[in-house]
Structure 1
């Protein structure tokens, strides 16, 4: 198993390098031929075009199809995996006091890490705003995105309890509802004791089938998918989208990387007294996979496999913490939303002070908790924050539209931050409950 894990990590690393190199070559080719040239249009139609979008009806889009098939195959079992793994984890933790402690510790770690992430993002955003770095003009050539409406971030609380059990299991965007049902089911099974026997066996068998399916998909097709997804991302978005908001992209990237590498390492050291280097080394491929897929949900299977088999976390702990963190622990999303909100407000001419930064941080924390674990969700939720703060003049809408255009690379890194945070929380909880195999962790 260890050999297979290392082989997969090597394959993913090779796919990452090849994807980045091929992507940059595509950018150079795109710039040389010209976006509107017949030659590039033919290449784009054949390889990269989104066949589901307007204008893609007659396109082949080979890279798009391969990438979507891989992501769809992972998302196919997200709801059953979340439901069965959390339910079984609670069933295995029959001690109600112990389950309560694990819940408090998990949510406590999520809250503390989110606060630190928001403080870092607030400091960076305020520094850039004071320095005037965001005082740039957005040219009128940007297409305004219409049809986005703001909503109260607290609506996510109502979505936790579904009104229809079938709707909860049929919507990948309703993971919080699946978590609620899993917790409720697990607690009820514990309460009924021996009266419930065959249902637990059925859940275990479903969970085994899901894990077997995901292991096959990740091991056999993961490296290919990483290469395809990265290459298409570079080729489809090109270099022209990065020019108007270069400062936003660079500042957000540096902040995310700082928290990813330094922030989580400090949290591991402070909360567990463990050497963070094994964690960084082993979790690197999880971050890479999250970066490639830009989906916390799609990364969950590999994250769980790595956290349990290589970092020594008890499977019961990982099965409870990781799915919960997938929807509630969104440090990367919160950081991105804070800096993006400051960028939009500054560019649109709004005055930003410490109180505004604080309010942005609170809204980002609330909104990020309910962010769907899917590509592109963070930028959509950003509009909720902007609406709540009243940053909706014409220039703000133009800037927001620009963020939607350039935010793909940022959201890829955001996903890496989110999934690594879930793994770090699992290590802390397992260590505090004496359910961490430190010999495996230090290997």
Structure 2
């Protein structure tokens, strides 16, 4: 264990160095930084290559390992309940801070247009539910539709529990081997992290430019501040209360996954790293990690929920609309509800923002004012999404261990 922690500590130091050098490279040599984007794309492609087989096999192995539907029900309720709790607290933090320190002076959007927002189809609850169910599992696997893959693999595993014992063992042994092989490949990709991070960060800085961030500095600072409060106060408090562990030591040990999420801006691309790290240095049982983390990569959106809440309140200030307590409460409930379901749809954040703005009667065109810094903030909110996953999986693991001790 100590050797593994040292290995990840060395990687973390190299990653931080990659971030610093990437920022400097992007600022002082932007043309070169833009041309080397392919290195970062190769790195992300390797990560994404692992995600679909890893999610399918790990969910299957996890449910088969539970052995019965009652155990699945217990761990499933704990997981969903904790994800809803952390998301709700993230939204509450965002609303509280935006009311204490309101930002955004009234401005007209006349002449502004954000075409992509107008292309988003109106939100439909029926469409959201149907999007969870794969009509063709091979198409879902090819497209990387995570929620559909999770639903099918869960049903496949439950059906396998009804097979004869020898066939259950055969299936479990096969998918366990697949999971282990994918995690070994993930370890190879992790060694590329410093170079991948350097490439990704330098490209983003070169593409976005520092001037864009400076122009919206109050908005950027507000989003980052709320995300940090949730990451450094709320989540550790939840982990300490429910998990009965030292939250800061644990989060420090598994920080590799959060750093990776920041650089890739993708929860699913980070999944192979998250699973490897929580098992090797976080002390989480593989069976629990295999169930909680793939689900979290799809439905856990603490960072996104907090970001959307701030963005909508910021836009309301720009529009000169004073949202009442009831409006803000409705905003909070809507964000929490949508964060679980809309994750299965393409352009999830955009869909959620359009839905909420329409619900509150705010002009969608205001998105054009804040989209310039969306890429930078996307990296930050994705890092928080993954940090929340790391916290929830540890709590679920601790609760399962306590339950076993009491039996």
Normalised to the residue count of structure 2, the TM-score between the two structures is 0.90
Conserved 8 A contact 1:125-1:338: no
CA distance in 2, matches of 1:234, 1:372: 27
Q: 2:352 corresponds to which residue?
A: 381
1:95-174 alignment runs, 5 A limit: 95-129=68-102, 133-137=103-107, 144-146=114-116, 147-152=118-123, 154=125, 155-172=127-144, 174=145
Superposition RMSD in Å: 2.4
- The reply on whether 1:305 has 2:273 as its aligned counterpart is no
Q: 1:218 corresponds to which residue?
A: 190
Conserved 8 A contact 1:268-1:424: yes
Q: 1:38 corresponds to which residue?
A: none
Conserved 8 A contact 1:153-1:366: no
Q: Secondary structure of the equivalent of 1:241? A: helix
Query: Residues 97, 377 of structure 1: CA spacing in aligned structure 2 closer, same or farther, 3 A cutoff?
Result: closer
**Larger RCO: Structure 1 or Structure 2 (Cα < 8 Å, ≥ 6 residues apart)?**
2
> Residues 414-441 of structure 1: CA distance to partner in whole angstroms, max 9, x if unpaired?
01111111111111111111179xxxxx
> Residues 285-304 of structure 1: CA distance to partner in whole angstroms, max 9, x if unpaired?
22111111100011111111
- The reply on whether 1:421 has 2:388 as its aligned counterpart is yes
**Candidates 302, 306, 320, aligned match of 1:349:** 320
Query: Residues 272, 361 of structure 1: CA spacing in aligned structure 2 closer, same or farther, 3 A cutoff?
Result: same
Query: Residues 152, 379 of structure 1: CA spacing in aligned structure 2 closer, same or farther, 3 A cutoff?
Result: closer
Conserved 8 A contact 2:186-2:276: no
CA distance in 2, matches of 1:177, 1:81: 14
**Candidates 68, 72, 79, aligned match of 2:52:** 79
Normalised to the residue count of structure 1, the TM-score between the two structures is 0.83
Query: Residues 348, 424 of structure 1: CA spacing in aligned structure 2 closer, same or farther, 3 A cutoff?
Result: same
Q: Secondary structure of the equivalent of 1:76? A: helix
- The reply on whether 1:407 has 2:374 as its aligned counterpart is yes
> Residues 363-403 of structure 1: CA distance to partner in whole angstroms, max 9, x if unpaired?
211222245599975245322322333322xxx50x30122
Query: Residues 428, 99 of structure 1: CA spacing in aligned structure 2 closer, same or farther, 3 A cutoff?
Result: same
1:161-240 alignment runs, 5 A limit: 161-172=133-144, 174-194=145-165, 195-219=167-191, 221-240=192-211
CA distance in 1, matches of 2:350, 2:369: 11
> Residues 164-220 of structure 1: CA distance to partner in whole angstroms, max 9, x if unpaired?
222221112x2011110111111111122424454333323322332222221221x
CA distance in 2, matches of 1:417, 1:76: 23
Q: 1:433 corresponds to which residue?
A: 400
Q: Secondary structure of the equivalent of 1:170? A: helix
Any gaps of 5 or more consecutive residues in structure 2?
none
**Structure number with higher helix proportion:** 2
Q: Secondary structure of the equivalent of 2:284? A: coil
Conserved 8 A contact 1:379-1:403: no
Q: Report the more deviating stretch, 290-299 or 145-154.
A: 145-154
CA distance in 1, matches of 2:18, 2:90: 30
Q: Aligned residues, how many? A: 398
Q: 1:339 corresponds to which residue?
A: 310
Query: Residues 241, 138 of structure 1: CA spacing in aligned structure 2 closer, same or farther, 3 A cutoff?
Result: farther
Query: Residues 223, 201 of structure 1: CA spacing in aligned structure 2 closer, same or farther, 3 A cutoff?
Result: same
Query: Residues 299, 428 of structure 1: CA spacing in aligned structure 2 closer, same or farther, 3 A cutoff?
Result: same
